[in-house]
Copies of this chain bind each other. A is one copy, B any other.
Amino acid sequence: MSGRKIDPEKRIRQVVQAARKLFVERGYYSVSIPQIVKASGVSTGAIYNYFTNKESLALYIHEQALEEFKSLYSQALLGKQTTHDKLKTFAELVFDITENDSEMMEYMLSMQHGEFLQSSPPLCSTEPFRMVQQIIIRGMELGEVRQGNYFLSAVSYTGVILRAAELRLQGVLASPLSESSEELITNAWAAIS
């Protein structure tokens, strides 16, 4: 339909990809617009045409990453019945993203501890965490999860999984998470069952 000279959506994706990579690597404040211009191949003027300023670009990236995770998790949950399997699905998704889209996982983890974007809605990052909470509440009702404070159980399960992902991204864990997946999931489940 539109003239095929240049595709705005494609260029927005270029900017977002380049910016997210740079933000993850060096941190929000140490990344300059000129660097994003160079890395994305999109000019300053165009960037400021798409986004009102640097912060709004970061906010866009933030929301997009969150939405993508939610969508992937919802998809992966289809057909899973037991509490154990639903939580295992969470763990495996986290491990899969960590190995195959590490940039995205690093971004998810950076978002969690609020280093940048102080003006963004506080703790967006907890939305996946909320999903896990709901699963655990239901699991307690069903007697599949040990009785207790559901919040603390969610903290415990996700703590095991997310810390493994974190250490893997930092290079402390040398081998792929797929090799450790089974044992980590066993540990996380043992913490709450």
What is A's interface to B at a CB cutoff of 8 Å?
26-30, 109-110, 112-116, 118, 122-123, 126, 129, 148-149, 151-153, 155-156, 158-164, 166-167, 170-173, 180, 183-184, 187-188, 190-192
Residues in chain B near residue A30, CB distance under 8 A: 29
Known contacts A115-B27, A118-B26; A155/B170 CB under 8 A: no
Q: Are B159 and A164 interface neighbours, CB within 8 A?
A: yes
Contact partner, A172, options B109, B126, B160, B161, Cβ 8 Å = B126
Contact partner, A161, options B122, B151, B159, B170, Cβ 8 Å = B159
Contact partner, A170, options B114, B149, B151, B183, Cβ 8 Å = B114
10 closest Cβ pairs, A-B complex = A29-B29, A159-B163, A191-B191, A156-B187, A159-B159, A159-B160, A187-B191, A156-B160, A29-B30, A115-B115
Residues in chain B near residue A155, CB distance under 8 A: 160, 163-164, 167, 173, 184
CB distance from A59 to the nearest CB of B (A): 16
- Measured between alpha carbons, how far is A66 from B175 in the docked complex, in Å? 27
A116, A164, A167, A180 — most chain B CB neighbours (10 Å): A167
- Measured between alpha carbons, how far is A129 from B110 in the docked complex, in Å? 20
Known contacts A27-B116, A167-B155; A187/B192 CB under 8 A: yes
